Structure 1
Amino acid sequence: MSTRRQFIGQSALLAGSALLGSSWTSLAAAASEDEMLTRTIPSSGERVPAIGMGTSGSFEITQGSPEYTALKEVLKRFFDAGATIIDTAPTYSNAEDILGLLLDDAGLRPKAFIATKLSGVSGREQGLKQFQRSLQSLRTDKVELLQVHNLGDWKTQLAVARELQKQGKVKYTGITHYLDSAHDQLADVVQETKPDFLQINYSVTNRGAERRLFPMAQDLGIAVLANRNFNDGKLFNQVKGKSLPAWASELGITSWAQMFLKFCLSHEAVTAVIPATGKPDRQSDNLKAGFGPLLSAAQKQEVIKLVG
């Protein structure tokens, strides 16, 4: 439910829309200055914060190391900002172990929306065993989202995920991929199975999901997690030496990272973005993208030209 401040802020934005040429869609999706943007999971109506985080690479570190200490602050800032979704996988080396330990030590598990995966396994028994190992690593008895990673043995593993969902060990089920080349196959599977979530790559320079996957997700009522929002860091090289557009400050954008994340969130099909970082300052920067107005269609096109 919107707060009074959100209502006032959005009303002010609407009043100025005729002058700015912003669309109703962009304005209606705007977040307030002090509350993070949330989006609805269509299958349940539950609202979740639009800025999440990944763990690939950033959580594959050694317990007790300087990187481990930094992750404590990364998580603190994450939850303090109102974020909840953390995406991980049993095939991300020891990321689940590190995440589980950090959440447990800080008493943060109740605040987390954990999204893990069935990854690199074949057959029902392997899927069930891997999930049990994930629960042990994550130090929990259930997870919010269990995804079939990269369409691996997807028919069997999605059935496993749904079996666990019926048992109350999983709240939502999903299917993932991270490559443009898999979009058509992923769309076919999503059309057939209608999971609660799909996860796919989406960024300023990789917009293939807009063609078929995003419209399908909206039509079928499927939540979307967008990964590779910075295109594995390549986007920053493409804007090196370039200034942000003059209008960026009007949206509260002070960095290219915020711009890239807001770009993704400006598509209404996207439920949340999940950038990974092990650095507290970068986490704070990423989180700022969840506050304030989103980009209009014209602003998105300008960013595409700037980056391209």
Structure 2
Amino acid sequence: MTSTTSLTHHRLLGRSGLRVSPLSLGTMTFGSDWGWGADDAEAQRIFDAYVDRGGNFIDTSVNYTNGASEKILGRFAKARRDQLVLATKYTMARDPANINSGGNHRYNLVRSVETSLRQLDTDRIDLLYVHAWDFTTRPDEVMRGLDDLVRSGKVLYLGVCNTPAWRVAELQTLADLRGWSPLVALQIEYSLVERTVEHELLPMAQAMGLGVLPWSPLGGGILTGKYSRADLSDENGADVASDRKGVIASTGHLNQRSLDIADVVGSVADELGVSRSQVAIAWTLAHPAVVSPILGARTLAQAEDNLGALDVVLGDEHLARLNAASAPAPIFPDRFIGRPMAQQLIFGTSPLVDRR
């Protein structure tokens, strides 16, 4: 069973000594520049609802709502800055016409951090993420550049998002060998409709000391029952994210399997007398690698409902049903190594060996 009682039930962030709330407030929805976010007044209400309950972990990015997210957050956080852990990200292009305004290289890293410091109106970034791997920049350039920013005091802790497990392991090993600042956080998509990260990324995070921050724990709203067969889409064009439904379509999750999983979430929610959103978030909290799922509410009502997930207790039978409905297919090598014949070949037949 899983239960967390409040936002002040803090957790350590990975291998660091930093304490953060068990739910993080995402602010990609702060600002209406992208056509579907919260205006300043509603964003203020969401921020206040989170912080007034003791929440201290807030997530943004240099490019969210064209920079409006950081600016709005900076205004809200000003009076309580030292009570909060502000996390932002670099990688995404700030100027589509400038080839060097995006990517993982040092040029973009430094310019993005300077932009974030201005937009947030703060003297430091508490947690800086590599937003996504660009498959171009050398790992040593990235980790040395990040370490330089930590040594300068502009950045305190480091994390990485949306990057293959083997590359994250390389980055972490490089940092450890060189005495550079390590990664302490891994932000990845994780929900009942996206469990393939359980194959490599989650075990890697546990082994290498990275706390996991799941984004989109509601599967973009699919797990709330918001979508039906009429909404199914495999659209994957570059312009698909022009509205909120398009954003979800771009993830590839608007399919029949996801709707079937959402039905099971609905059944469990009805039995417990709670919302579907609360069940979906509580499920992510049950994984031992997860530190703080990121909430992405666009209204105060959504935010308050999501925060209620901390009071939800999922029993073993509920977890079993949710896991069975959403289980990802095994992949190689675990698909092979985990089978009885391979285990016997590795360990022999001694019943005393703990094979898993």
Q: Could you say whether these structures have the same fold, taking a TM-score greater than 0.5 normalized by the shorter chain as the test?
A: yes
TM-superposition CA deviations, 1:152-178 (whole Å, max 9, x none): 336233322221112222221011118
What SS does the corresponding residue of 2:283 show, helix, strand or coil? helix
How far did 1:299 drift? 2.3
- Select which of 288, 299, 303 maps to 2:318: 299
How far did 1:135 drift? 0.3
Give the corresponding residue for 1:52.
24
Q: Separation in 2 of the partners of 1:140 and 1:154? A: 30
Contact 1:53–1:86 (CA<8 Å) still a contact in 2?
A: yes
Structure 1 letter corresponding to 2:320:
Q
Give the corresponding residue for 1:281.
301
Alpha-carbon distance change, 210 to 299 in structure 1, aligned in 2, over 3 angstroms: same
Alpha-carbon distance change, 45 to 298 in structure 1, aligned in 2, over 3 angstroms: farther
Corresponding pairs, count: 267
The answer to which of 163-172 and 131-140 deviates more is: 163-172
How far did 1:142 drift? 0.4
Tell me: higher relative CO, structure 1 or 2? Use CA pairs within 8 A at least 6 residues apart. Answer: 1
Give the corresponding residue for 1:16.
none
Structure 1 letter corresponding to 2:322:
V
Alpha-carbon distance change, 304 to 292 in structure 1, aligned in 2, over 3 angstroms: closer
TM-superposition CA deviations, 1:45-82 (whole Å, max 9, x none): 332111112122x11326xx972111111000000122
1:1-308 to 2 correspondences below 5 Å: 22=1, 26=2, 30-32=3-5, 36-56=8-28, 58-61=29-32, 67-92=39-64, 93-94=66-67, 95-104=69-78, 107-119=79-91, 120-152=102-134, 153=137, 155=139, 156-177=141-162, 182=164, 185-186=167-168, 189-190=171-172, 193=175, 195-236=183-224, 237=227, 238=259, 239=262, 242-245=266-269, 248-249=272-273, 254-291=274-311, 293=313, 295-305=314-324
Q: Could you list the runs of 5+ residues in structure 1 that have no partner in the other structure?
A: 1-21
Contact 1:266–1:296 (CA<8 Å) still a contact in 2?
A: no
How far did 1:288 drift? 1.5
Compare CA radii of gyration and give the structure with the larger one.
Answer: 2
Structure 1 letter corresponding to 2:278:
Q
How far did 1:195 drift? 1.2
Give the corresponding residue for 1:9.
none
What SS does the corresponding residue of 1:151 show, helix, strand or coil? coil
TM-score (norm 1): 0.77
